[in-house]
Each structure stands twice: as C-alpha cells, then as structure tokens.
Amino acid sequence: MMEHISVLLKECIEALNIKEDGIYADCTLGLAGHSSEILKRLSTGHLYGFDQDKNALSYAEKRLEPFTGKFTLINDNFVNLKKDLSEYGVSSVDGILFDLGVSSPMFDDAERGFSYRNEGPLDMRMNQDSKLSAYQVVNTYSKEDLTRILRDYGEEKYALRIAEKICEYRNDKTIETTLELSGIIKSALPAKVVSSKGHPAKKSFQAIRIEVNDELNVLSKALYQALDLLKPNGRLAVISFQSLEDRIVKNCFKEVTSIPEEYKRLPLKESELPRSGYRLIGKKIVASKEELSENHRAHSAVLRVIERKGTL
C-alpha cells in the first residue's frame, strides 16, 4: 500500500491553484496522496475527503494524522457531494478534485474481485455495503442486458459472443470467481484476440465494474454538483483513466463553457450574447515521460481543469 504513487500529482496541485485559507474537496480520497499535498499548503483552510470504501478511509485517516483539525473525512459516494457538504455548513468551495477509476489497493486485494488476473470472489463493489455485486450481474442478467453492458461500458467488439458464453456456462453452474469468469470470456474470443497485447478480459471486467458501481451516471451527476459548488475563481480538476469517463468530463466542461446553440441562431452582436460562467484552464494534461517510466497507471490518465469565472 505504501508504494502507491498518486497519478499526475504535481499537475493536479498546480491546477487547483491552492489558497492557504481555502476550502477544498477531494472526492476520491483513496490513499490520500493528493489530499496530503493539498493539506501541506493550507494554514487556516480545510479539506473534505470523500471515499465510499471504508478500508481507504481508515488508511487515509492514519496518513493524514499530521494535519488533524484541518480535514474532515466523509464515508460516502461523491454523488452526494452537495448534500454531505451542506451538513457541515459548506455551500461553496475553492477547489474540487476527482481522481477516477479503481485505486491500486482494490485491484491488488484479490478478495475485492476487481482483478481478472487473480482468483477472488465476483464482487467489484467499491462500497462494500452495496447490494449489487458482479456475482448478481454475471449470474442473473439476461443475455441482452449483458450484451448491452459489455458493448456500452466495455466497448467490447465481441459483446454478444461473451454474453452467450456466460449464459451457456451458467446453465450448468453458477459463476463464482474472477478467474472462472476470465476463462469464460477467453473461450468466447477468437484466438488472435486472446493472444494479442492486453488481457482479453480487461474490457469485460471494466464493463461489469461500471455497472455494479453505476460509475458513469454517478460521475455525470457529481460533476454538475461540483461546478455549482465552486466559488468565483474556484477550480475543478478531474483525472480520468478511460475514454467513457473522459468523454463525460469533456462534454460537461464544453457544455458549461459554450454559448447555447439557440443563441447562436439569433441576430445578436457578440456583446449581446450570454456569457459562460466557466472557463477551461489549458488543454487536457497527460503524464510526463518521467512519470510514465515510474508509474504504469499514469499511461491512460487524462487531467482536465475548469474554473468558475470571477465576478465581473
């Protein structure tokens, strides 16, 4: 656990433009790598750290002990960002961070069921109290629903073939473990795909994990809450690790920084057009060569940053 390296750490901290008396929210606390760097820069400011995983919160609390009094940890999904902050009397913040995807310890712990390389139960719940697990998805969803999930959330070309194999297999027995599922997925794929670069079950496992945790819907809802919470000149930084997440972030940011289409059709002068309340900070940021050589997780990472405009 201690060897975990936070992705795009330097870039994130710079992007947030931290003020020593500012209020910040880390919506994906994890092992508190980003949070500890934010806290180092606060004097009278405060950080609210969110994580739905109790194991992560427990570890983070110990790591952040040197900053006791400057942070509050919240055991909840970031889809409840606004509601949870309001319970602490917080209605606006100076900066918000999302570091999306699954944290390394979740993948490393075979018992959590995220890994397609190690034997473990079919779980994949980020919140261990959630009712829906990968076991239910794999063993009870219809062929049509499995196909849709694998296609839409995994961008899996052979979604139908995999769904058929899963349904065929579970006619004889329930699918219990990650390696059992991984083997079924491999059996559905052409030999050239199985032998190609990258694990053949990666896309399918991603798709099932997204379904279990409702990741894309949750992200979309939370982004708009985060934007609404920003103070003037406050910033929102989002790190995504796959194209589906990044597309949601990109489209959301584009929507709130663009002039609505209906106004573009009207015969108005530029000065008469409504102004967006947000502006993009630079273009998308990816990891440096140095970071890529040290941290494999950084290869797919994309950071996007947006700022609420100050009062005019």
Give the tens place of pLDDT for each residue, 212-237.
Answer: 999 999 999 999 999 999 999 999 99
Q: Which range (153-162, 168-177, 295-304) has the least confidence?
A: 295-304
- What would the pLDDT profile of 232-268 be if each residue is shown by its tens digit? 999 999 999 999 999 999 999 999 998 655 555 556 5
Tell me the pTM: 0.92
Over residues 55-107, the pLDDT tens digits come to 999 999 999 999 999 999 999 999 999 999 999 999 999 999 999 978 778 88
Helix, strand, or coil (residue 137):
helix
**How many Cα atoms are found within 13 Å in the side-chain-facing hemisphere of 8?**
26
Domain boundaries, the chain: 9-99+215-308, 110-213
Per CATH, 9-99+215-308 and 110-213 having the same topology is answered no
Predicted local distance difference test score (pLDDT) of residue 108: 84
**Above 90 in pLDDT, residue 310?**
no
Partners of 74 in the β-ladder: 50
CATH number for 9-99+215-308: choose from 3.40.190.10, 3.40.50.2300, 3.40.50.150, 1.20.1730.10: 3.40.50.150
Q: Residue 26 to residues 43, 78, 93: CA-CA distances in angstroms?
A: 17, 9, 11
Averaged pLDDT for residues 7-34: 96
What architecture is the 110-213 domain classified under in CATH? Orthogonal Bundle (1.10)
What whole-number distance in Å separates Cα of residue 35 and Cα of residue 187? 43
Evaluate whether 56 touches 30 at the Cβ level (below 8 Å). Answer: yes
